[in-house]
Every structure is written in C-alpha cells, then in structure tokens.
Amino acid sequence: MKIYQDYDLTNNNTYKVKLHTKYFVLPNNKNELISILKKIRSEKEKHLILGNGSNIIFTSDFYNGYIICLKNMNKYNIENDTIIAESGVMLPTISLASINNSLTGLEWASAIPGTLGGSIYGNAGAYLNSIMDYIETITYLDKELNIKTISKNDINYGYRYSDFKKDKDNIIISCTLKLNKGNKEESLKILKDRQERRKLTQPLEYPSAGSVFRNPPNNYAGKLIEDLGLKGYNINGAYISDKHANFIINKNNATGEDIVKLINYIKEKVKEKYNIELILEQEIERD
C-alpha cells in the first residue's frame, strides 16, 4: 500500500475545495487498514476516514495527518437477494449491480456519489428510502481495532443519522444488504426517472456536496431559503444555487471557510424569519 505525501485532495472532495494532506493512503482491504492504523498510532499522528468526500467540508488548506480513503475496499458479492459489500463500494455501482441481478430497492441510490460506508454513517437516502432500510448487518473496526459485526437493530438510526456519527472512532468495513426480487426493466425505468429528475432540479454542473441542511419536520429547507430570496447569494466563491436553494455550489474557488460562513448566514436568516434551527447534513472538518 503506497503512502502519498503532501497529497492534493482537491479531487477527493466533491466541493472541490483546495487542500493538501500530509499523508494519503488507499488501503485495499481490512488487513491493510488495520496495519496503517497501527502505524499511525505508533507515530502519534491523527487520521480521518474518507469515502468519496461527497458530504464533507474541509475548512483548512492543509490536513496535518493521514487521510485514509476507503474507495479501494470495493469488493462485493451478490447471492440471491443478499449483497455482501465492502464499505468503499460506490452507491451507483451497487445500485446498478443490484438491478442487473433483478433486485429492487436501491434504485434511489443510483445518483448519489458516495460510498456505502459514508452512506451508512449518515444514513443517506432519497425519495423516502434510506440505506438503513436495506442493511442487515454492519461490520466495523472499533477503537481497539477489534472487528465487530452487529445487526442494524443494535444501533440507533433515523433521518440522516446513525450512531456512527456519535462514535466517530468506529470504521465501517463492510455490510450485508437484503433486497427484494424485482424486474430489471422496471427498475431501470425508475433509475432513469430519478437521474433525470436530479438533472432538472439539482445544480449538478457545479461542485457541491448535495443538500446542505436536513429538511425540518413538515417543511423543506430549500423552500425556506428560497422564500427568503437567498438564491444566488454568495460569500466569495460559495453561492446558494439558483436551481436549488438547499445546495451550496463552489462557483469560483470557494474555500471551506467561505462555505461554512454561508451556512451560518443561512442558518441565522432562517432562524430570524421562521424561528427554525436548520440542521446541517454535511460534516465540517476542522484541522
């Protein structure tokens, strides 16, 4: 496993915020992951687990430690209605593979540019589905580097939440998913519809990390922001999208700090006008 030094992370975060990391590693399997974690401990360095970087805002231009990207841990196997997959598998990959095996359930995930691990962490979802609906078991490494397998019923999860957000030392290494028998042609139709709907409603032509805020109960974050007339508002290169007000886009070399300042501005305005506290869906990484 190669350790890259002073690595440019611009293409490893979908906001395309510019930064470097002291070290960058891509373990190919759980044994390599464990061995790099042991090395990091012995060197007393810090580390961050990264999937596809599609739900994270880096606020510094340098990460002073190891970024461990799990995208090379991407093996999966489909047998009947069950999928066993490593956490670095991309959602669009597993969505399409399941459809090709005439399984239904993951059509919604075909346009979400994250890994399975990242999606379990935040219980990613769309169109009233979420990944935890289909998870049976999760295998993770705990702080002491023990491998544990749990049923999804052993943890709390909900709308864009799982306990992995609370116990940040746990690293998801693989999972099993259970889907239903379906019809390939019908699933492909749903997949196409979801993708076209996204193209029409989301600013996919610009770097972003998807929806910025969770929807408040019985409301839509995007509508609240749009009704405040904030579409197009910007702080330096970070803009509230004209196409979808719950997206912040990097139009012109935005830094993570520009994005966070814009997030705080939106939260303040929404609180002032509607007395609603918007909750961030994305992770802020402060070095």
Residues that bind ligand FAD (CB under 6 A): 14, 48-56, 70, 87, 112-115, 117-119, 121-122, 124-126, 164, 171-172, 202, 204, 208-210, 283
Q: How far is the CB of 284 from ligand FAD (least distance, A)?
A: 9
Task: Name, in order, each residue with C-beta under 8 angstroms of 136's C-beta and a sequence gap of 6 or more.
Answer: 82, 151, 152, 175, 176, 177, 178
Q: How far is the CB of 112 from ligand FAD (least distance, A)?
A: 4
Q: How far is the CB of 80 from ligand FAD (least distance, A)?
A: 25
Task: Name, in order, each residue with C-beta under 8 angstroms of 10's C-beta and a sequence gap of 6 or more.
Answer: 16, 17, 18, 19
- Rounded to 10°, the helix 91-100/184-201 angle is 150
Give the residue with the Cβ less far from ligand FAD, 120 or 235: 120
Give the residue with the Cβ less far from ligand FAD, 18 or 269: 18
Q: How far is the CB of 25 from ligand FAD (least distance, A)?
A: 14
Quick one: which H or E segment has residue 69? Answer: strand 62-69
Residue, CB closest to ligand FAD: 51
Describe the chain by its helix, strand, coil percentages, rounded to 5: 30, 30, 40
The residues facing 122 across adjacent strands are: none
Quick one: which H or E segment has residue 57? Answer: strand 56-58
The catalytic site residues sit at 160, 211, 281
Give the residue with the Cβ less far from ligand FAD, 118 or 182: 118
Give the residue with the Cβ less far from ligand FAD, 128 or 275: 128
